[in-house]
Amino acid sequence: MSLAKGSGIAVYGRNLLQALNELGYDTQVLFGPGAPRHPTDFMNEVAITDAARTRVKRGAGRALSTLTARFGVTAYPIVPSGLVQWPDRGPLKPASDSFWSSRDVYNLSVRAFRHYRSMVPVRFDPEASGVDAPDICHWTAPLPMQGRNTANVYTFHDLIPLRLPHSTLDDKRAFFDLCKEIVQSADHIVTVSETSRADVIKMFGANPARVSNTYQAVDIPQEVLEQDIDEVAALLEKDFSLGWKDYYLFFGAIEPKKNVMRVVEAYLASGSKRPLVIVAGRSWLADPETDILVQMARPESLGAGIRRLEYLPASLLRVVVKGARATLFPSLMEGFGLPVLEAMQLGTAVITSNSGALREVAGEAALAVDALDMSAITAAITALDRDDDLREQLEAHGRLQAAKFGPAAYKERLSAVYSVLGAT
pLDDT tens, residue by residue, 4-59: 666 788 889 999 999 999 999 999 999 999 999 999 888 999 999 887 766 665 67
Q: Which of helix, strand or coil describes residue 309? A: strand
Average pLDDT, the chain: 91
Q: What is the pLDDT of residue 2?
A: 75
Q: Render pLDDT for 247-270 as a digit per residue (tens, 0 to 9).
A: 999 999 888 999 999 999 999 999
Q: Which residue has the higher pLDDT, 127 or 226?
A: 226
- Report how far residue 157's alpha carbon sits from residue 200's, in angstroms, rounded to the nearest whole number: 10
- Report how far residue 341's alpha carbon sits from residue 345's, in angstroms, rounded to the nearest whole number: 6
Q: What is the pLDDT of residue 86?
A: 85
- Report how far residue 121's alpha carbon sits from residue 150's, in angstroms, rounded to the nearest whole number: 11
Q: What is the pLDDT of residue 314?
A: 86
Q: Render pLDDT for 107-118 as a digit per residue (tens, 0 to 9).
A: 999 999 999 999
Band of residue 204 on the pLDDT scale cut at 50, 70, 90 = very high
Q: 222-404: which CATH topology?
A: Rossmann fold (3.40.50)
Under a CB-based contact definition with an 8 Å cutoff, are residues 371 and 350 in contact? no
Query: What element of type H or E holds 409?
Result: helix 407-420
This prediction has a pTM of 0.92
Query: At residue 303, does pLDDT exceed 60?
Result: no
| Short-list 258, 296, 289, 265, CA closest to 381 | 265
Report residue 329: phi and psi, to 5°: -145, 60
Query: At residue 333, does pLDDT exceed 70?
Result: yes
Q: What is the pLDDT of residue 302?
A: 47
Under a CB-based contact definition with an 8 Å cutoff, are residues 200 and 212 in contact? no
- Report how far residue 356's alpha carbon sits from residue 334's, in angstroms, rounded to the nearest whole number: 7
Q: Which of helix, strand or coil describes residue 128? A: coil
Task: Identify the sign of the CA torsion 349, 355, 358, 359.
Answer: positive
Q: Which of helix, strand or coil describes residue 295? A: helix
Q: What is the pLDDT of residue 60?
A: 78
- Report how far residue 186's alpha carbon sits from residue 423's, in angstroms, rounded to the nearest whole number: 16
Q: What is the pLDDT of residue 301?
A: 47
- The strand pair at 367-369 and 349-353 is best described as parallel
Q: How far is CA 366 from the centre of its chain?
A: 21
Listed ranges 279-288, 290-299, 389-398; the one with the highest mean pLDDT: 389-398
Band of residue 397 on the pLDDT scale cut at 50, 70, 90 = very high
Q: Render pLDDT for 61-93 as a digit per residue (tens, 0 to 9).
A: 888 999 999 999 999 999 888 888 888 776 788
The CATH number of 8-217+410-420 is 3.40.50
Q: What is the pLDDT of residue 53?
A: 65
> Residues of CATH 3.40.50.2000 domain(s) within the chain?
222-404
User: Which residues make Cβ contacts (< 8 Å) with residue 67, sequence separation at least 6?
Assistant: 112, 115, 116
